[in-house]
A and B are shown apart, each in its own frame.
Chain A
Amino acid sequence: MTTIHSWMNNRWSIPAASGALILAALVLLQIGRTDTAGNILMVAAAVVAGTHIVIAAARALWARVIGIDLLVAVAAIGAVIIGQYWEAAAVTFLFAIGHALETATLNKTRSALAELVAVAPDIAITLRDGEQVEVAATAVIQGETVLIKNGAKVPVDGEVIGGAGALDEASITGESMPVEKATGDRVFAGTVARSGFLQVRATGVGTDTTLARIIHRVEDAQDAKAKTQVFMDRFSAWYTPAILILAIIVGLFTQNIVLALTLLVIGCPGALVISIPVSIVAGIGRAAKDGILIKGGEFLETSARITAVAVDKTGTLTLGRPRVTDVVVLNPALTRGEVLGWAGRAEVGSEHPLSRAILDAARTESLDVAGLPESTSPVPGKGIVVTARGHRVLIGNPALLAQYAIIDSDAATHAATALAEAGRTPMIVMLDDTVAGVIGVADEVRTDAAQMVSDLHAAGVKRVIMLTGDAPLVAHAVAAVTGVDEVHASLLPEDKLDVVTSLQAEGYVVAMVGDGVNDAPALATADIGVAMGAAGSAVAVETADIALMGDNLLKLPEAISLARRTVNNMRQNIAIALITVTLLLLGVLLGGVTMSIGMLVHEASVLIVIVNAMRLLRRHDQHRPAEASRPTSLPPSTGPEPIGITIRPDQTVTSTGENHVLVD
């Protein structure tokens, strides 16, 4: 019984049975003396394949919907009544087999999302009263400790509170390389432990996880209609009734029922109504699998037209983590360590973003920076004045030197200028009213930043523009490394917005990439707002037009070229559908196309449209470096090696081991 039941439920059973009956009928019609037996088998084939169609048509009618099923059902029944048994059998058989194929292939185009849903975790091992308890993933309580063993799926979003291990985060970020996790790191539900053992404090459970947000975002995106689709929907709304009326008019006018019925069959708008949704579902699904969330069809269409990309520097082209790159010693009595050490001692109490870089460098070199300075007074826009261990230490820019009337400051100013030209932020260090040295701090440019810029150009973007609040010299140095076309430096948030609007006024379709805080106005104004590293931010996942889940810059050109391919795919599908319908209509009206040929061509066009959309599911391999986003420093090399900056024609900074000395 169960076998019969499962056989009946198989989507291929009905087409198979109907096909077998048609074959038997054809054999009988060939060898039989009378046609009766063959005709009976033909009708049987039509009944087997058609029953389902008639039921579906009745259900649709019951819900007051005139659908394709009804057109086919009327055509098939009409064919039987007028004795066109072969046509009735062929039409129902082809429709049934086409329907089964459509369902199978459509499920494939939705497969990217199905895979996302499939990575949703089922169970979690929690630590309750010191005992390991297995619970449903959705039953974990916020703040509870969850254990993640090697090979297990991470059941919740959370923070690592103990242990170490590597996670495969491909389901979230699209990156296949496992990521090492240690205490303090964030983990996401749906990722898989490849090694180690982690203790995680749950911060998000069930629908409050990044994975759930991605799934909902992708579903909403797939359902959001592109402008083209809204147009096509309107078109199909009058197309189906028009075909019905045309069939009736042709039937009345020519008294040719077969012709009228054939019109009904070929009038099924299958390929037309499906042409756009399948491309969008496949395109957005493919993107999601690669860690690129696109808000919907409309945004896909806009992304395909992007001609200018504005990129925020800090945190996007660079890592947003300043670090000490140079220590230039200007007082021959001091060592490099002493200059850095005094700077460190002075910066202990400072809140300035660059002070952290100096402290980190001092601690890395095991310099003694313990204790707090006796007094600290910041000089806004210039630097900081500190009394530490009985000495007065000043750290700041040339303006600070001028304010404190430090004499003999030429060497410091020159060194500072040279560092700035090389893209470092210079900080002059003074000890007891004499210049001690200059420390250069720079943000690290991402290794793939230059690759991203050239990929963007390859993807058809005409201008890549860097926007930054930083000083022009630093900005230009980063620009030189990354190869962006244009730099706008020393910008306030509203200035970034102005750059975007003026680009739009010039006719560019602008995408803006930023971290969403001080870039918010520009992001909102740009035609497409792109958020990077969005996995960690629920807001970014939900609001950005394109959210790049991972921290990989190369996803941006990938997103744009995928958008272009998807929109091309949509156009191809619309063309296939319209050409097919036109040719069939002409074929029927001019003669030659029968009901069964019409159904065959119609079903074929639907399948071609779906298969064409499925091409989008294939990965388009461009550049997939094994390691993405590993930081690089600004050239030339950093650290204790010679930095070789020309200060004056007769002066260079060189290094001898630990000490950078100014050579006259």
Chain B
Amino acid sequence: MSSIAPTITHTSLRAEGFSCPSCVSKIEKQVGRVDGVTAVTVKFASARIEIDHDASVVSVEELIAVVAKAGYSARVAAF
């Protein structure tokens, strides 16, 4: 956690359609490029996308749209 922690939101997305580990870097690079995203980790085995982002700059819906543009459907994990 850095000093700007209060504005950073951590969002977990569960994605579908991961079929090869090369999907990982594809999504990481696409999402990582978005303004307001400070960190993104894609977990291949459990098909998760963990994103640290500034919610006032980029919303969860926008992030889901970016993932969709990379070719994968994803939704927010509540639990």
B and A form one assembly: yes
**Which A positions have Cβ atoms within 8 angstroms of B?**
55-56, 59-60, 63-65, 67-69, 99, 102-103, 106-107, 110, 113, 117, 120, 138, 206-207, 209, 211-212, 215, 218-220, 222-223, 270, 273-274, 277, 280-281
Given A59-B26, A222-B45, A223-B46, A270–B79 Cβ distance below 8 Å? no
Q: A281–B20 contact, CB under 8 A?
A: no
- A363, chain B: closest CB distance, angstroms: 44
Q: B20–A273 contact, CB under 8 A?
A: yes
Given A138-B78, A281-B45, A65–B25 Cβ distance below 8 Å? yes
Q: A219–B43 contact, CB under 8 A?
A: yes
- B43's partner among A102, A206, A223 (CB-CB below 8 A) is A223
Q: Which 8 residue pairs of A and B lie closest in terms of their CB atoms, listed nearest first?
A: A63-B29, A67-B22, A219-B46, A222-B45, A120-B79, A223-B43, A222-B46, A102-B19
Kindly state the separation between the CA atoms of A488 and B19 in the bound complex, as whole angstroms: 51
Known: A65-B22, A68-B20, A103-B16. 5 other contacts (CB 8 A): A65-B25, A65-B26, A110-B47, A219-B48, A223-B44
Please give, as numbers and ranges, the residues of chain B lying within 8 Å of A65 by CB-CB distance.
Answer: 22, 25-26, 29
Please give, as numbers and ranges, the residues of chain B lying within 8 Å of A102 by CB-CB distance.
Answer: 19-20
Please give, as numbers and ranges, the residues of chain A lying within 8 Å of B79 by CB-CB distance.
Answer: 117, 120, 206-207, 209, 211-212, 215
- B20's partner among A64, A110, A270 (CB-CB below 8 A) is A270
11 A-B residue pairs with Cβ-Cβ distance under 8 Å, sorted by A, are A59-B71, A63-B30, A64-B29, A99-B19, A102-B20, A103-B16, A110-B47, A138-B78, A219-B48, A222-B46, A277-B45
- A110's partner among B25, B30, B46 (CB-CB below 8 A) is B46
- B21's partner among A64, A107, A273, A280 (CB-CB below 8 A) is A273
Q: A117–B22 contact, CB under 8 A?
A: no
- Determine if B70 is an interface residue (Cβ-Cβ < 8 Å): yes
Kindly state the separation between the CA atoms of A45 and B22 in the bound complex, as whole angstroms: 26
- A285, chain B: closest CB distance, angstroms: 9
Kindly state the separation between the CA atoms of A277 and B20 in the bound complex, as whole angstroms: 10
- Determine if B17 is an interface residue (Cβ-Cβ < 8 Å): yes
Q: B20–A67 contact, CB under 8 A?
A: yes
Q: Count residues of chain B with CB under 8 A from any CB of chain A.
A: 24
Chain B 1-30 interface mask (CB, 8 Å, partner A; 1/0):
000000000000010111111100110111
- B69, chain A: closest CB distance, angstroms: 8
Please give, as numbers and ranges, the residues of chain A lying within 8 Å of B39 by CB-CB distance.
Answer: none
Find the residue from B17, B43, B47 having the highest chain A CB count within 10 A: B47
- B26's partner among A60, A106, A222 (CB-CB below 8 A) is A60
Q: B46–A59 contact, CB under 8 A?
A: no
Kindly state the separation between the CA atoms of A590 and B15 in the bound complex, as whole angstroms: 42
Please give, as numbers and ranges, the residues of chain A lying within 8 Å of B78 by CB-CB distance.
Answer: 120, 138, 206
- A106's partner among B19, B48, B77 (CB-CB below 8 A) is B19
Kindly state the separation between the CA atoms of A61 and B43 in the bound complex, as whole angstroms: 20
Please give, as numbers and ranges, the residues of chain B lying within 8 Å of A110 by CB-CB distance.
Answer: 46-47
* Shortest Cβ distance from A136 into B: residue: B78
Please give, as numbers and ranges, the residues of chain B lying within 8 Å of A273 by CB-CB distance.
Answer: 20-21
Kindly state the separation between the CA atoms of A414 and B16 in the bound complex, as whole angstroms: 71
Kindly state the separation between the CA atoms of A60 and B21 in the bound complex, as whole angstroms: 12
Q: B25–A277 contact, CB under 8 A?
A: no
Please give, as numbers and ranges, the residues of chain B lying within 8 Å of A270 by CB-CB distance.
Answer: 20
Please give, as numbers and ranges, the residues of chain B lying within 8 Å of A55 by CB-CB distance.
Answer: 71
Q: B21–A277 contact, CB under 8 A?
A: yes
- A60's partner among B22, B45, B77 (CB-CB below 8 A) is B22
- B72, chain A: closest CB distance, angstroms: 10
* Shortest Cβ distance from A102 into B: residue: B19
Q: B45–A67 contact, CB under 8 A?
A: no
Kindly state the separation between the CA atoms of A270 and B46 in the bound complex, as whole angstroms: 18
- B31, chain A: closest CB distance, angstroms: 10
Q: B45–A59 contact, CB under 8 A?
A: no
- B79, chain A: closest CB distance, angstroms: 4
Kindly state the separation between the CA atoms of A107 and B45 in the bound complex, as whole angstroms: 10
- B41, chain A: closest CB distance, angstroms: 9
* Shortest Cβ distance from B29 into A: residue: A63
Q: B45–A223 contact, CB under 8 A?
A: yes
Kindly state the separation between the CA atoms of A543 and B70 in the bound complex, as whole angstroms: 36
- A28, chain B: closest CB distance, angstroms: 33
Q: B17–A103 contact, CB under 8 A?
A: yes
Q: A106–B46 contact, CB under 8 A?
A: no
Q: A280–B45 contact, CB under 8 A?
A: yes
Kindly state the separation between the CA atoms of A207 and B30 in the bound complex, as whole angstroms: 28
Kindly state the separation between the CA atoms of A68 and B25 in the bound complex, as whole angstroms: 13
Kindly state the separation between the CA atoms of A107 and B16 in the bound complex, as whole angstroms: 8
Find the residue from B17, B19, B29, B48 having the highest chain A CB count within 10 A: B19
Q: B71–A56 contact, CB under 8 A?
A: yes
Kindly state the separation between the CA atoms of A69 and B20 in the bound complex, as whole angstroms: 10
* Shortest Cβ distance from A68 into B: residue: B20
